[in-house]
Structure 1
């Protein structure tokens, strides 16, 4: 199969790219070359996809079995892709987000038919708008759209909302015995998925024309409390987590920039019914539990000191929120 990835070297997509190469697919990666990740065996195209005229010229000699856009965040990105790839690909896969699902949720078990609504996060609303465009393009002119909604997928990021992701700050605090924040009472359930597991299901959809017109989420079946998630991180570095529970509303009041990530996503229990993806990719099973996966992630961070970024502004924010919380006399 001949496949084009727009992006393809990120936190999730690198695992998918490598598995595509292992499967013998002819894989092209189109990006600006700003990410230093190198996917051996792929054909790299360094180009700005927003240069529409030049892109059309570049694509003249190509037709694709599948095009995947890993970095479309705005409806304008999708409008551009429909213009570029209509009649040029048998399948177009858009990477949406499970944060688009209804917030607050009415049902804690999420299926692909769960309504899409997020009043807290522009990121999620933009993803919903992109999905709407693609659904209309499929209905009106048979544009071969497939929608994928990942949920908190990790490999080379630390998947916690405060002090993590591309930072090492949360781990540094844990190692030093400093207090860390866990939102709410730490008991709400959450789903984390390793990108290597995600890649197995995702590559099973590539080129599967029965998937056209459908939306899928791809997640692990493991449900962990936020306390467990932080305890596993602490265990991976051989110590204990000094957790302070603070309500999400209070955190957001102190730091409004966290509203989307918390109230628009991680505050609410999220358990996913993966029946649909398993019906299309019957061999898919998530086999990397977080207790193992986070050790792989921390090993990756610690292989190069420059990856272990500890941000003063994040530490200051955490200390400020904890200070404000304790100042009003609230304790766990």
Structure 2
């Protein structure tokens, strides 16, 4: 559909994961890159990308701007529920050869703390977190679309990703634009909240590495009808992650450990469910994608990646934005449970 090059549409394209996928795709001569978003972050649009400024929740507006365009690959980063997916499928389902849904390892039901999460053997059926349950429903809807229309699809399940903006911490602001809140607390010696004893394992992946695996699935017939983790093989405890963030800042973090259920009650809603889910180890195996995409080699360890993140903030201080309300709430909870 894109002539000699593969025409890829990223629905989003400037977020935590999609931003580095766009950056890598823009360097490739064999990819014609398109982004569809509201244009709120033009500074993260790579040179050479074609941009359509529109709100995906307004399908008539999007269709008008797309005209008769078709794509080899459409990657959906913005469907968090079936209603959103229905909308995006309605726009792009007949315009693409491959539809890639960004799901999450949150779809899994962890049966034992020693379990290694694999696509083949780990049960899809998270009962703890509504985010994971909604992603499960999205996956099922996409599979049903394939059965009814023949649309080829691929499901991608990231784990814990970070980039130049996101400072990973389990109890932090919901959007990466406020990630500096965590760094600010460390620098001020204010306690960071930590669920349980902080020793649950997580799988961390820099989005520049993630992008290599993702692009290897684009236009790849062997990926059709399949689900893949795209994760590194770096497994760290949440305590160790906080220590490494502190090392990058030159300050030792103060941690306030709170039982996950208590912390979940204090923060409520989706955030509370997330923390209870995080109490489980999340060790992901990515052998499946590595076998299909040999160029997927993760070269950024967290200790180095977080230093690059902090360096970005130092070089671009305008991004040092604090979520004041969340910061105050962390103070209140830390005071209640003791630091």
Q: CA deviation at 1:60?
A: 4.3
Residue 145 in structure 1 maps to residue 153 in structure 2 = yes
- 1:22-171 matches, cutoff 5 A: 22-24=27-29, 25-36=31-42, 37-103=44-110, 108-113=115-120, 114-155=122-163, 156-163=165-172, 165=176, 166-171=178-183
Residue in 1 aligned with 2:263?
Answer: 251
Residue in 1 aligned with 2:239?
Answer: 227
222-231 vs 76-85, greater mean Cα deviation: 76-85
Do the aligned residues in 2 keep the contact of 1:197 with 1:285 (CA within 8 Å)?
yes
**Which runs of 5 or more residues in structure 1 are unaligned?**
none
Q: CA deviation at 1:48?
A: 2.7
Residue 21 in structure 1 maps to residue 39 in structure 2 = no
Q: Secondary structure at the match of 1:65?
A: strand
- C-alpha distance in structure 1 between counterparts of 2:70 and 2:89, whole Å: 14
Q: Secondary structure at the match of 1:284?
A: coil
Distance 1:67 1:312, change over 3 A: closer
Deviation >6 Å, runs of 4+:
none
Instruction: Provide Cα deviations, 1:136-185, integer angstroms capped at 9, x if missing partner.
Output: 11233311111111112110111112235433222122112222222211
Q: CA deviation at 1:226?
A: 1.1
TM-score by length of 1: 0.92
Instruction: Provide Cα deviations, 1:12-34, integer angstroms capped at 9, x if missing partner.
Output: 11110111111121111111212
Residue in 1 aligned with 2:212?
Answer: 200
Distance 1:135 1:177, change over 3 A: same
Distance 1:48 1:252, change over 3 A: closer
174-183 vs 65-74, greater mean Cα deviation: 174-183
Q: CA deviation at 1:194?
A: 0.4
Aligned residues, how many? 326
Do the aligned residues in 2 keep the contact of 1:104 with 1:268 (CA within 8 Å)?
no
Q: Secondary structure at the match of 2:74?
A: strand
Q: Secondary structure at the match of 1:190?
A: strand
- C-alpha distance in structure 1 between counterparts of 2:332 and 2:62, whole Å: 48
35-44 vs 52-61, greater mean Cα deviation: 52-61
Q: Secondary structure at the match of 1:201?
A: helix
- C-alpha distance in structure 1 between counterparts of 2:233 and 2:212, whole Å: 14
